[in-house]
Amino acid sequence: MITKIMECDLLVLGAGGSGLVAGVRANDLTGKKVIILEKTRKPAGCTYFAGGMGESGPIKDSAWQRDAGHEVSETPDISGQFFDWLLTKGDAKNYFTVAKPGQAGRMGSIGMKNMEGKYRGKPDQTIGPGRLGSWMVDTLSGICKEQGIQILTETRARKFITDDRGRVTAVLSDTNDGQLLVNCKACIVAAGGYGANKKLLKKYYPEQFDGGKMHSLCPPAMTGDCILAAEEIGAYIDPTIRGLDFPGGFYGEGFLRHPWDTSLLALATGKCVIINLEGKRWQNEADASGGDIRDQRGGVAAAIVDSKIVEALGSDGIPGMPGMETKSPDSIRADLEKEAAWDEAGASGNHTKKADSLVELALKMKVDPRALVDTIERYNSFCETGKDLDFGKPAGMLQKIEKPPFYAIFGNRWSQSTKGRNGIAVNSKFQALNTKGDVIPGLYAVGDGCTIFGGATLNYPDGGYGTISKEEEEGRAALSKDLAQAFAPAPGDGTPVAGGPGAGAPGAGGVGGQGGMMMGGGDQNANILKTKGAPCGGLGPAFLSGYCAGTFAAKYLRDL
């Protein structure tokens, strides 16, 4: 039984990064009423965990970069248009920096003065609060309040209501006080993927999600509710089974340190001793394929090293994760001590443990001291003879664990948000598509909940993630042009840009038209679902897809 009915022009489902950006952007451009529904107790989503926009490449073509002397395109890239809009919000101008030409860092010329904001120095920013992600959520939540955008928390969207033409006209939701029906003229799905839905994970990836223990970084609210609800009204849900090793990651097998500092993997290889929570070895540490961490209790293991291994860390350091810089040995050692200090301070989680004896180390690890000591003593005897009688580790990799202090560096299997896998299919304007490839009027999808064209334009490699195809580059350029033109005045009509200063796309000229499909131009066609696409996941694509959908939904509302 419906207990309450509300009205709005635009309804946004999800108060994470993509939803907040979309709602504020659309309100800026039209001044129309926006309501945002959030399933949890406060705005957050996966965005609150995230540190930076790496998945979509560096910010390009912003006015800030132009003014600092950087070369920019006549039609700014999507990221530059988004960034110049963002600078009009909150304290953004005090939060970001721009480098001079020739001084750009790993993620380009746009940086941040304080990556962690009020959370600086606290452990595990990657599991929330994050850096850029938490700042964006906090900032845009405040902007929503200033602009009169309602955020209704603890409100779970359940069902789309459509008219006889298939246009979305309302959403039915559950609240603590009963059901809520929100009538709307357009709706943007920004409710994330299904990384916390074990049934869907097993459906699409049965080999990986086989019931074994795994550390999940996905917020528990990410159960794919809106993906399933969209499927009920005929939306096409991308069935593609994609690789697991794309930018930003989704799933990791073996001894991995996500979400903790990956630099310590430099110590968790080769000469270390890897044990399970029983205090025992189960594999040749020089050949990780020799054993599977999923078979160990809790899906957790620990690399035991002594001070000699730490001191002898090679000069090459360890290559960073894709798109991340290589760290020096000194930096890795500093990371080791930093994480051990977090543990000493009582931080929760499997941070690196440090102790002056193996017994003390075992107690800190909550491992049977006798088992750990017996394992290390047996291993040290193999080091003396040069023969690993248990797992055949090469003699050149055998080194005694004997010089204190000793360290236990934890690793685990992990998964996180599905990042656009098996989400709602969208076209280049983030309009949801049905199974025939036609637009579902009034429905948009962004962030982790959308796939196909969204990902192909927004997961834009910056060198560390690989090359981008000509087709994808042309698609991103076409989308940038569409954005710049969406609210541009027609030639010579003198129409002001909607939303006031900072609301229009920077660099928007007086050229009319809507551009074309993202894949090389032209009108939408019946083969749109067969065109090459990609997931739309990660913090950068979340922000950019929200910005795009907010812009195009605003135009849709204006043109009704």
Query: In the structure, what pLDDT confidence band is assigned to residue 83 with cuts at 50, 70 and 90?
Result: very high
Query: In the structure, what pLDDT confidence band is assigned to residue 130 with cuts at 50, 70 and 90?
Result: low
Q: Are residues 186 and 262 in the same domain?
A: no
Q: Are residues 127 and 23 in the same domain?
A: yes
Mean pLDDT of 11-35: 98
Q: What percent of the chain has pLDDT over 90?
A: 57
Of 382, 413, 444, which one is at a domain's C-terminal end? 413
Torsional sign, CA 11, 15, 17, 23: positive
Of 372, 391, 413, which one is at a domain's C-terminal end? 413
Token output for 526: 């019946």
Judge whether residue 64 has pLDDT over 60.
yes
Report the range out of 37-51, 97-111, 171-185, 531-545 with the highest average pLDDT.
171-185
Query: In the structure, what pLDDT confidence band is assigned to residue 75 with cuts at 50, 70 and 90?
Result: very high
C-alpha closest to that of 352 among 279, 245, 443, 265: 265
Q: Are residues 441 and 382 in the same domain?
A: no
Query: In the structure, what pLDDT confidence band is assigned to residue 248 with cuts at 50, 70 and 90?
Result: low
Q: Are residues 198 and 312 in the same domain?
A: no
Token output for 444: 């948009």
Token output for 102: 């020739």
pLDDT value, residue 462: 47
Amino acid residing at 520: G
pLDDT by residue (tens digit) across 290-329?
Answer: 567 888 888 899 999 999 999 988 644 444 444 344 678 8
pLDDT value, residue 461: 59
Range of the domain at 387: 251-413
pLDDT by residue (tens digit) across 477-491?
Answer: 999 999 999 998 755
Q: Are residues 408 and 438 in the same domain?
A: no
pLDDT by residue (tens digit) across 209-225?
Answer: 988 888 888 899 999 99
pLDDT by residue (tens digit) across 359-381?
Answer: 999 999 999 999 999 999 999 99
Quote the DSSP letter at residue 517.
-
Q: How many domains in the chain?
A: 2
Inter-residue contact 515 to 112 (CB < 8 Å): no
pLDDT value, residue 485: 95
Mean pLDDT of 51-58: 79
Q: What is the CATH number of the domain that holds 373?
A: 3.90.700.10
Amino acid residing at 122: K
Q: Are residues 211 and 83 in the same domain?
A: yes
What letters, b where the CB count within 10 A reaches 16 and e where it falls short, cover 200-213?
Answer: bbeebbeebbeeee
Query: In the structure, what pLDDT confidence band is assigned to residue 499 with cuts at 50, 70 and 90?
Result: very low
Q: Are residues 446 and 373 in the same domain?
A: no
Inter-residue contact 227 to 194 (CB < 8 Å): yes
Residues 6+ apart with CB under 8 A from 374: 279
Q: Are residues 408 and 427 in the same domain?
A: no
